[in-house]
Copies of this chain bind each other. A is one copy, B any other.
Amino acid sequence: MKFLHTMIRINDEAKSLDFWCNKLGLIEQRRREVEAGRFTLIFLGAEGNPDSQLELTHNWDPEEYSEGRNFGHVAYEVDDIHATCQKLMDAGVTINRPPREGKMAFIRSPENISVELLQKGDALEPAEPWISMENVGVW
């Protein structure tokens, strides 16, 4: 038995790929376009374990995607959480929970999926601007 993927639904493919790939760094592994069902499935993986994927389901006919409380977040380990958060912030992504202690941060995808970022190994030495940065919203 093997974990394959976590599926989330998206409305805006361009915005989602910009966030998950360009900004966060996941890599598109494969996609399947189903004309008859009017949907596209896009599978994204991180370079460290590209087979544990995030499946983006894009139904071509727009639907409203509410946020539930039974689903929490997807989490990724990063090599340098300060550098990752800086890169995300420079790209316009809000750091909802800054890595004040050099270990953990939370952001959100354009369609409100909560994403946890965790520093690989030991926490980094706490550093500004993160130490003084307030939380924004919920995650």
Interface residues in chain A, defined as those with a beta carbon under 8 Å from any beta carbon in chain B: 1-9, 25-26, 45-49, 51-55, 57, 63-79, 111-113, 116, 118, 120
CB pair B72–A2 under 8 Å, yes or no, is no
For A48, give its contact among B1, B71, B72, B77 (CB under 8 Å).
Answer: B1
Complexed CA–CA distance, A73 and B51 (Å): 16
What residues of B have a CB within 8 angstroms of the CB of A6 in the complex?
6, 72-75
Chain B residue nearest to A45 in the complex (CB):
B3
Apart from the given pairs A3-B76, A9-B72, A66-B69, 19 other A-B contacts in the complex at a CB distance below 8 Å: A1-B76, A1-B77, A1-B78, A4-B116, A6-B75, A7-B72, A7-B73, A7-B75, A8-B71, A9-B69, A49-B52, A55-B72, A55-B75, A66-B70, A70-B71, A70-B112, A70-B113, A71-B71, A71-B113
